Amino acid sequence: MAEQILLRAEGVRKSFGALEVLKGIDLEVRQGQVVSLIGASGSGKTTFLRCVNMLEEHDAGDILLDGEPIGYRMDGSRRRRLSEAKVSAQRARIGMVFQSFNLFPHLTAEENVMLGLTKVLGKSKAEAREIAGHWLGKVGLEARRGHYPYQLSGGQQQRVAIARAVAMDPRLLLFDEVTSALDPELVAEVLGVMKALAESGMTMLVVSHEMLFVRDVSHHVVFMDEGKVAQSGAPSEVFDRPDSERLQKFLGRFH
Ligand code: ADP
């Protein structure tokens, strides 16, 4: 039986002023799946992730998590924005890892992971510390729990950021080009952690230019071109049978 649909986007549109960046995006992510968004810079991948995480408000269309609209409710045929408290509660179900790590510099690795657990989920310090230790162990950083970000390599910082996101027990994890800012020799350790997470059954929506990783780990690949889904399917379909010159050309850059 097919897994349940966790995230469904239908006709999602978003403009910045006169620039229409998302021109009706349809996609779905099933529970336990890894779906990757690929495409040239400027095609709207990050904007789509930011709409899913409510960092941007989409103009039209629907984004549903577990069947519930994200960031708004319907009042007849009108969309009404949810209160900040409700938006926060929804956002806690969606984790996001950014290109730039975004760790708090004045907190240790462990404290970075603990913060959301105590402040957002209301866990005790003792419980948060235990969960943080568990996830820092999973990303191979048990021994670094007392280190501050400046004492860690970029790859280690990014692994702390992943531990911090996954420790919140999200329904869905978003990854936005999380290896793009890393020195090449540090990329593999972060991709390794992501692959292990995928294999553990975490549902992930990933924007990445690491095509070997995308091909290896994704259940479904979505090629975005100028704000639209130009092609989507299993990795073998998208990579071996590109149905447009644009996709062929895009993939050609990685050979
Ligand atoms: P990608 O992730 O595929 O590189 P983005 O979603 O980052 O694409 O960007 C798509 C387009 O939207 C780009 O032309 C970008 O300049 C524009 N854009 C993104 N965010 C904003 C913003 N806050 N204000 C104005 N334009 C934006």
What the block records as the tokens of 247 is 């996709």
Atom of ligand 1 nearest to the CA of 177: 2
pLDDT tens string 157-176: 999 999 999 999 999 999 99
Q: Hey, which of 13, 20, 36, 46 would you mutate to test ligand 1's pocket, going by the most ligand atoms within 8 Å of its Cβ? A: 46
Give the per-residue pLDDT at 23: 98
Percent of the chain with pLDDT over 90: 87
**Is the ipTM, as predicted for this complex, more than 0.90?**
yes
Which of 14, 20, 21, 99 for mutating ligand 1's site (highest number of atoms within 8 Å of CB)?
21
Rounded average pLDDT over 204-230: 97
- DSSP-H helix ranges across the chain: 45-52, 84-91, 109-119, 125-138, 154-167, 184-199, 211-217, 235-240, 245-252
Report whether pLDDT(77) > 90: no
pTM (2 decimals)?
A: 0.95
Q: What is the pLDDT of residue 1?
A: 53
Which residue's CA lies nearest to atom 12 of ligand 1?
21
For 52-72, what is the mean pLDDT? 91
pLDDT score for 242 = 94
The model's pLDDT over 2-38, given as tens digits with 9 standing for 90+, comes to 789 999 999 999 999 999 999 999 999 999 999 999 9
What integer pLDDT is reported at residue 73 of this predicted model?
Answer: 79
Instruction: Label each residue of 81-138 as H, E or C.
Output: ECCHHHHHHHHCCEEEECCCCCCCCCCCHHHHHHHHHHHCCCCCHHHHHHHHHHHHHH
pLDDT, tens only, 115-156: 999 999 999 999 999 999 999 999 999 999 999 999 999 999
